[in-house]
Structure 1
Amino acid sequence: MNQYQAFRVELADKVANVVINRPEKINAMNAAFWTEIIDIFKWIDETDDVRVVVLSGAGAHFSSGIDLQLLAQVGGELGKDVGRNAEKLRRKILSLQASFNAVDNCRKPVIAAIQGYCLGGAIDLISACDMRYSTSDAQFSIKEIDMGMAADVGTLQRLPRIIGDGMMRELAFTGRTINGEEARSIGLVNRSYADQQALQDGVQDLARQIAEKSPLAIRGTKEMIRYMRDHRVDDGLEYIATWNAAMLQAADLRVAVTAHMTKQKPDFAD
């Protein structure tokens, strides 16, 4: 596995632990972060031994969002021509969006474990994950509004489907900070834990439970959920019928049924 500047990646018991590893910078998202996360999730997608991903941050905080030095660097590259500046900025924004699209498009479930700060770009990141869990004292904020800009890497597009349109607007317009308990109450996180150790224990246990399931069944379930974000119910029913026409012929169904009848733990192939 490659060595990364902004991440630490470990694989154990079919769970890939992807850790943002810049604790001295509050895990701010520097230039390396945005390119490495694409490579990491490409590896995850292509590695059959990976069944679940846990995404977390090293140290006391999940992430403070985009590194301000990166923003300053982008600003320093702009010239006097408005049209050319706009073209350059648009390409840069699209490239950043691609980094979190890689998380959203991952075929394996991605679980975010959040403690401390989860600000700005970090909200964009966790919005692209399948499930989110936090400590009760975690701090969430859509900070872009306080920087004089609109969030542009996925928060405004994905968050309404997670917490609802009205609450998303409140947080996006005000930039106010909510803690883990309020995040749980509005559905931003599924559960909040008393401290970081309890969070990690809970999330790792959940990841292991998912890793024990049929990888084909998990993959099909995630694909159907993603498909339904932009389609009608009858479209989704048609799609799952076609999908399962193939997938129900896999050995996983027989393994699962046999294990259930014999009251044994199923062992699915990668």
Structure 2
Amino acid sequence: MNTPTPTLTGFTLGITDHVAHLVLNKPEAMNTMHPTFWRELDAVLAYLNTSGAARALVVSSTGKHFSAGMALETFGGAITLDDRSPEGRAAIFDLLTDMQATFSRVESLRIPVIMAIHGGCIGGAVDLVTTACVRYATADAFFCIQEINIGMVADVGTLQRLPKLIPLGVVKELAYTGRRLGAHKALGYGLVNEVFDTQDAMVAAALQCAREIASKPPVAIWGTKQAVNYARDHSVEDSLRQMGWLQGAIWSNRHVMESVTAMKQKRAGDFPDLPALRRFSELD
């Protein structure tokens, strides 16, 4: 099955040697998030998840900032939040659930995701980057839970995922004050894996990490991501039980032997891609 590549206006997407590179590409608007952003991101994630074309994904950006978050004009136009009736307030829940689902798709993508962050990572952009497996940053990068500064609660994942990544006291300080967290402090707290002097160096390192991931058996990478994400939200006992079921489902003597042989022969391993997927409703 050939999954069509989505048409994009706010992003660029390239895939080389099983590594996908998605670039936020609206620098004139500081890569703010509006309905088209959500629609195109949904389309890219669906493509990457179903096509099996990539084994790892790098997300980077253009211009001065990684992203300035939600486009504020959206609240006066495309998004109308009606707080005048219980029915209107119920609709806010449904709207947010839909928006949250897009970023959750990053977290649940079949392949690892690496975020390469420069400049400002503000508001909704923090929601986005907390869904990643690995985060790299430039020295000038900063993170800001901007929502509190405009009179609202962050609502698309920051307050749920960030406490899993950095100390709770730090989360509360950032969420209550709207202060900026610089890259080096973020590194100390464990929010980012490494800080780089330049954006070029950071993106190169992110792509290199993605290539290393892509060289491993894709189904083992898939299983590892499943296990780590499950363990984050469950007890050790439950996670060990899940690990037994998982390993029993995906164990491959061939992959182990090929990995060992490739290391001894100092060559790349030869492993099958994850299969392309189709929704059940799309089957004949």
Aligned equivalents of 2:182, 2:124: Cα separation in 1? 17
Give the number of equivalent residue pairs. 269
Say if 2:222 is the partner of 1:219. Answer: yes
Q: Deviations over 1:221-255 (max 9, x none)?
A: 00001111221111111111111123223532221
1:79–1:256: structure 2 CA closer, same or farther, 3 Å change rule? closer
Alpha-carbon shift at residue 263 of structure 1 (Å): 4.1
Give the 5 Å matches for 1:38-187: 38-73=42-77, 77=80, 81-187=84-190
Aligned equivalents of 1:196, 1:177: Cα separation in 2? 19
1:254–1:177: structure 2 CA closer, same or farther, 3 Å change rule? same
Alpha-carbon shift at residue 182 of structure 1 (Å): 1.4
Q: Secondary structure at the residue paired with 2:185?
A: helix
Given that residues 60 and 203 in structure 2 are in contact (C-alpha distance below 8 angstroms), is that contact kept between their aligned partners in structure 1?
A: no
Given that residues 141 and 175 in structure 1 are in contact (C-alpha distance below 8 angstroms), is that contact kept between their aligned partners in structure 2?
A: yes
Alpha-carbon shift at residue 267 of structure 1 (Å): 2.3
Aligned equivalents of 1:255, 1:78: Cα separation in 2? 55
User: Amino acid of the residue matched to residue 207 of structure 1?
Assistant: A
User: 184-193 vs 249-258, which deviates more?
Assistant: 249-258
Given that residues 66 and 121 in structure 1 are in contact (C-alpha distance below 8 angstroms), is that contact kept between their aligned partners in structure 2?
A: yes
1:79–1:233: structure 2 CA closer, same or farther, 3 Å change rule? closer
User: 228-237 vs 213-222, which deviates more?
Assistant: 228-237
Alpha-carbon shift at residue 61 of structure 1 (Å): 1.5
Q: Secondary structure at the residue paired with 1:168?
A: helix
Aligned equivalents of 1:62, 1:131: Cα separation in 2? 16
1:167–1:80: structure 2 CA closer, same or farther, 3 Å change rule? closer
Aligned equivalents of 1:94, 1:74: Cα separation in 2? 16
Q: Secondary structure at the residue paired with 2:233?
A: coil
- Structure 2 length normalisation: TM-score? 0.90
Alignment match, 1:265: 268
Alpha-carbon shift at residue 79 of structure 1 (Å): 5.6
Alpha-carbon shift at residue 181 of structure 1 (Å): 1.2
Q: Deviations over 1:84-107 (max 9, x none)?
A: 220222221111101101111111
Given that residues 83 and 89 in structure 2 are in contact (C-alpha distance below 8 angstroms), is that contact kept between their aligned partners in structure 1?
A: no
- Structure 1 length normalisation: TM-score? 0.95
Alignment match, 2:280: none
Equivalent residue in structure 2 for 1:25, among 17, 29, 45:
29
Given that residues 111 and 129 in structure 1 are in contact (C-alpha distance below 8 angstroms), is that contact kept between their aligned partners in structure 2?
A: yes
Say if 2:271 is the partner of 1:251. Answer: no
Determine what percentage of the aligned residue pairs are the same residue. Answer: 38
Structure 1 stretches lacking a partner, 5+ long: none
Structure 2 stretches lacking a partner, 5+ long: 274-284
**What's the C-alpha RMSD, in Å, of the aligned pairs?**
1.5
Given that residues 28 and 67 in structure 1 are in contact (C-alpha distance below 8 angstroms), is that contact kept between their aligned partners in structure 2?
A: yes
